[in-house]
């Protein structure tokens, strides 16, 4: 039997098994028709296949509105690319996916014409013209899309069911990797990064849990050296050359403020750059600055926690500005003052420098914080938990204090004995146990030196 007859017989048998009424095939197997019209007509070189539907409930035939006819060379085995349902209704295999691939704009298509020869595609007057090679390739691609859709559906179902199952105490199920190679690009492409211009654009689509998961992923791929060396160099280049330079420049602008007044043009510009509108004091500017950039300026912290409230603390302020967890899992209590405060006062009767009242107050305040942490006097149990989740709990017994205050030109009002000032300052801050005093320009200077030393080693990409 020839291929033409096989095709007609193949279609006729499917429709007969599905009990379509009044299906007729001519004796030469070149034509099939129903009461609504001809389904298949095989001519000398070309075959015409119309696609009809049948409703057993109403016992009526229907003609499709789109993709309702395929014209193809007789030499092309169309039967491989047709899908018949149990009720006899038939269509192009993987038609939903095929249409999205070949006609993504959703233009109305009534007829598909398949031609021999080179690969081509053309849409005109509700007719889609394709070469048979292009048609086959598109069907195969559509099958790939369909298969992935099924896998994703199963994967999502398993993942979500596992999450919901935990509500009922079913935590025994071992965690599984639900994705295959190449699927992550699907997620990133769906985010449509090209249209995201700022943080707000991303936060429309990412919630807090998404961000935590993203941070975890980045931590792990960096730690396990998954990313390319070229990307790591670009990352370093961004954070060192660009980000850190901008941070240091902003810090130097704050350092240039010569008064506590925030009504100056420079002060208002700085507040705008910090992205805040409710800053009313110079100390708040520095606190906001360090809240945003402390992890960049002092490179030994894994995590920073602002304003962890403690109990039984003398004075109005019940919390240190920051608690930092360093890479050795130790705790640093960080107190931020301003660059206009003096650290030392000159004692003319003994001809030496001693700590100013502001500095002494900051030291006592920091010691009280250290003592409270040692005794686990956290106002909220959850605050202690989130710290010990990062640090080792035994390190709560050995916290360290860091006070950031003053600047090189404000250490003391007496500046006519620079060597004496330098020696006494070194001696006094070295005498403190578990408390380090740093000036703002020292912090910025450390970051600046870091830029100079590292950037020179970063090759051009």
- One domain, residues 218 and 294: no
Could you tell me if residue 392 is inside a domain?
A: yes
Residues 59-83 have a mean pLDDT of 93
- One domain, residues 222 and 241: no
| Angle of helix 245-255 versus helix 265-273 axis, rounded to 10 | 150
Residues 131-139 have a mean pLDDT of 95
What pLDDT was estimated at residue 453?
A: 74
Global pTM reads 0.56
CB atoms under 10 Å from CB of 272, counted, come to 10
Domain boundary among 169, 195, 226: 226
CATH number at residue 413: 3.40.91
Could you tell me if residue 186 is inside a domain?
A: yes
* Residue 60, domain extent: 3-146
What pLDDT was estimated at residue 5?
A: 55
Looking at every residue in the chain, the average pLDDT score rounds to 90
- One domain, residues 69 and 218: no
Q: Is the dihedral of CA 442, 443, 449, 452 positive or negative?
A: negative
Could you tell me if residue 169 is inside a domain?
A: no
- One domain, residues 348 and 277: yes
- One domain, residues 275 and 209: no
- One domain, residues 133 and 263: no
Could you tell me if residue 344 is inside a domain?
A: yes
CA distance 309 to 332: 15
- One domain, residues 422 and 302: yes
What pLDDT was estimated at residue 138?
A: 95
Could you tell me if residue 326 is inside a domain?
A: yes
Residues 438-445 have a mean pLDDT of 95
Query: Which range has the worst mean pLDDT, 157-166, 186-195, 203-212, 346-355?
Result: 157-166
306: nearest Cα among 327, 291, 285, 286: 291
Query: Which range has the worst mean pLDDT, 105-119, 127-141, 162-176, 218-232?
Result: 162-176
Q: How far is CA 383 from the centre of its chain?
A: 26
- Looking at the structure of the chain, the number of domains it has is 3
Q: pLDDT per residue over 317-376, tens digit each?
A: 999 999 999 888 889 999 999 999 999 999 999 999 999 999 999 999 999 999 999 999
What pLDDT was estimated at residue 454?
A: 66
- One domain, residues 215 and 142: no
Spatial contact of 255 and 444, defined as CB atoms under 8 Å apart:
yes
For residue 130, give both structure tokens.
Answer: 């394709």
Domain boundary among 208, 226, 244: 226
For residue 112, give both structure tokens.
Answer: 């598909």
Spatial contact of 361 and 316, defined as CB atoms under 8 Å apart:
no
Q: Is the dihedral of CA 444, 448, 449, 454 positive or negative?
A: positive
Q: Which residue has the tokens 């100056």?
A: 264
* Percent of the chain residues past pLDDT 70, beyond the cut: 96
- One domain, residues 123 and 237: no
Could you tell me if residue 161 is inside a domain?
A: no
CB atoms under 10 Å from CB of 450, counted, come to 16
- One domain, residues 211 and 138: no
- One domain, residues 40 and 14: yes
- One domain, residues 211 and 322: no
Integer angstrom CA distances of residue 197 from 23, 193, 246: 60, 8, 19
């Amino acid at each position: 039997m020839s291929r033409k007859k096989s095709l007609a017989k193949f279609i006729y048998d499917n429709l007969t098994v599905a009990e379509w009424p009044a299906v007729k095939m001519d004796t030469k197997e070149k034509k099939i028709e129903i009461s609504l019209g001809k389904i298949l007509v095989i001519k000398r070189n070309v075959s015409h296949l119309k696609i009809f539907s049948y409703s057993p409930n109403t016992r009526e035939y229907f003609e499709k509105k789109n993709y309702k006819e395929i014209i193809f060379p007789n030499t092309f085995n169309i039967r491989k690319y047709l899908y018949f349902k149990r009720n006899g209704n038939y269509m192009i295999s993987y038609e939903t996916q095929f249409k999205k691939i070949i006609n993504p704009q959703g233009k109305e298509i009534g007829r598909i014409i398949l031609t021999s020869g080179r690969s081509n595609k053309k849409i005109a007057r509700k007719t889609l013209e394709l070469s048979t090679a292009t048609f086959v390739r598109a069907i195969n691609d559509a099958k790939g899309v369909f298969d992935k859709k099924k896998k994703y559906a199963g994967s999502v179902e398993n993942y979500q069911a596992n999450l919901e199952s935990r509500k009922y105490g079913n935590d025994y199920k071992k965690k599984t990797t639900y994705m295959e190679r190449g699927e992550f690009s699907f997620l990133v492409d769906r985010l449509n990064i090209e249209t995201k211009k700022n943080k707000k654009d991303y936060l429309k689509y990412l919630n807090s849990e998404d961000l935590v998961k993203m941070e975890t992923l980045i931590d792990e791929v960096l730690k396990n050296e998954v990313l390319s060396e070229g990307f790591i160099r670009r990352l370093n280049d961004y954070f060192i050359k660009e980000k850190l330079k901008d941070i240091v420049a902003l810090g130097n602008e704050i350092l240039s403020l010569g008064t506590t007044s925030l009504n100056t043009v420079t002060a208002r510009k700085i507040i705008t750059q910090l992205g805040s509108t409710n800053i009313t004091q110079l100390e708040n500017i520095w606190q906001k600055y360090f809240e945003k950039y402390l992890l960049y300026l002092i490179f030994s912290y894994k995590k920073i926690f602002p304003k962890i409230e403690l109990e039984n603390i003398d004075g109005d302020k019940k919390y240190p500005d920051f608690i930092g967890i360093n890479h050795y899992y130790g705790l640093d209590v960080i107190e931020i003052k301003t660059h206009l405060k003096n650290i030392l006062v000159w004692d003319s009767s003994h001809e030496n420098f001693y700590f100013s009242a502001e500095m002494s107050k900051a030291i006592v305040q920091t010691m009280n914080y250290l003592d409270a942490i040692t005794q686990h006097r956290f106002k909220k149990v959850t605050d202690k938990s989130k710290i010990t989740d990062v640090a080792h709990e035994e390190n709560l017994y050995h916290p360290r204090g860091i006070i950031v205050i003053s600047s090189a030109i404000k250490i003391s009002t007496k500046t006519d004995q620079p060597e004496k000032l330098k020696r006494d300052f070194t001696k006094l801050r070295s005498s403190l146990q578990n408390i380090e005093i740093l000036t703002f320009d020292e912090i910025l200077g450390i970051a600046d030196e870091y830029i100079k030393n590292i950037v020179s080693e970063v090759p051009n990409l």
